[in-house]
């Protein structure tokens, strides 16, 4: 068995985020000044947390955020970013560039929630899940290739269940974990991913978790962390267990002025 930490972070704010406009895939905007400060704050918060692998969306706002986080980190000197298009934001089709409120109106007219609604030419939830599944497959293979020597003998035991909500320290859950992957991506993608982890992969949650919070939108540079356990004897389907440490943490944003 090989257990590793998985910390997923949304990119920092862009002007489109600030103005309530949809970016999706066709708009590749950079971070705003606030977004740069958010990324710096996230980097300072995580400065002593060790990452062994870094996976990043191929969109500018995610790459900028990852670069700033790594620049601040004291353990990541020389680590390279694995740029993966499977982490790209969900496509919102013809709604991209328009107001978030307009898409909300479209979804309401269709009798659907914002998360479930697919604008014309956009990606469905199921299509995004397929991309998430492909990314996980690639990541699991990379983690096993890079860290197989740190594995413990497979015993058939799953990762321990989550206990109470963590204290709020930057290294919660990963103090004694041999590998730790940082993933920098996007808000809508992360909402689908968390739902996929919980509903499809049966991710365990800390006791007392508020499901409204679990499935809510992650703020810019908000963080989610999981502990993933892989079976080294199952090359095609190595996932043995996954548990959540925290969802949508934003402690580091208290010091960021807008």
Q: In angstroms, rounded to a whole number, what is the distance separating the alpha carbons of residues 157 and 154? A: 8
CB atoms inside a 10 Å sphere around CB 102:
14
Q: Could you give the C-alpha distances from 211 to 132, 166, 194, 198, 205, in angstroms and in order?
A: 21, 16, 11, 10, 9
* Residue among 99, 101, 199, 180 nearest 139 (CA): 180
Strand-pair partners of 7: 182, 225
Give me the active site residues, please.
Answer: 11, 89
Q: What value does the CA radius of gyration of the chain take, rounded to a whole number of Å?
A: 18
Which class for 244: exposed (0-12), middle (13-18), buried (19 or more C-beta within 10 A)? buried
């Amino acid at each position: 068995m090989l257990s590793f930490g998985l910390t997923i972070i949304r990119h920092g704010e862009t002007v489109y985020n600030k103005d309530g406009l949809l970016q999706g895939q066709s708009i590749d905007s950079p971070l705003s000044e606030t977004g740069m400060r958010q990324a710096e704050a996230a980097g300072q918060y995580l400065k002593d947390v060790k990452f062994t692998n870094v996976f990043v969306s191929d969109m500018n706002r995610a790459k900028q955020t990852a670069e700033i986080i790594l620049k601040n980190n004291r353990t990541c000197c020389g680590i390279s970013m694995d740029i993966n298009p499977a982490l790209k934001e969900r496509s919102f089709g013809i709604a991209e560039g328009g107001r978030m409120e307009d898409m909300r109106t479209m979804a309401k007219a269709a009798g659907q929630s914002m998360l479930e609604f697919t604008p014309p030419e956009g990606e469905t939830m199921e299509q995004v899940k397929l991309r998430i599944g492909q990314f996980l497959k690639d990541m699991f293979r990379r983690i096993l290739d890079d860290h197989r020597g740190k594995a413990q003998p497979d015993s058939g035991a799953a990762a321990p269940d989550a206990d109470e909500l963590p204290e709020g320290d930057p290294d919660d859950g990963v103090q004694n974990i041999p590998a730790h992957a940082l993933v920098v991506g996007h808000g809508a993608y992360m909402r689908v991913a968390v739902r996929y982890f919980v509903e499809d992969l049966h991710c365990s949650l800390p006791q007392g978790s508020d499901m409204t919070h679990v499935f809510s939108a992650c703020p810019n540079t908000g963080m989610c962390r999981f502990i993933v356990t892989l079976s080294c004897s199952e090359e095609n389907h190595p996932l043995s267990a996954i548990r959540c440490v925290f969802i949508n943490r934003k402690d580091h944003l208290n010091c960021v002025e807008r």
